[in-house]
Amino acid sequence: MCRWAAYLGAPIFIEDLVTKPGHSLIVQSRAAEECKTSINADGFGIAWYHARPEPGLYRDVFPAWSDPNLKALCAQVRSHAFIAHVRASTGTAISRNNCH
């Protein structure tokens, strides 16, 4: 089952929800405590709004916890609206198109 984090409000750094907290989306993607599968390793995606009308996008087919660029990006990008997704495949192909 996939996991999501979404935010809408005053601008914050994306790391405040996605990478830093003890129960962040990245921590849950590697060791979830309450779900059918404890691992979400079949890709990830993140989208955010800032100064332009179209969202910034970053996604890949690898596990979110193994991507140093994701951690660096989350530490630098501040947004008032973002969504992040870690994927656990249910049998469909692992491809960038499936990493929302």
Residue ranges covered by each domain of the chain:
3-98
Nearest to 95 by CA among 47, 58, 60: 60
Measured between alpha carbons, how far is 1 from 15 in angstroms, rounded to an integer? 22
CATH fold group of domain 3-98: Glutamine Phosphoribosylpyrophosphate, subunit 1, domain 1 (3.60.20)
pLDDT digits (tens, 9 = 90+) for 40-98: 778 899 999 999 999 999 998 888 999 999 999 999 999 999 999 988 766 666 656 65
Q: Look at residue 3 and give its three-state secondary structure.
A: strand
pTM of the predicted structure, to 2 decimals: 0.85
pLDDT digits (tens, 9 = 90+) for 56-69: 999 988 889 999 99
pLDDT at position 33 over 80? no
Cβ atoms 49, 81 nearer than 8 A: yes
Active site residues: 2
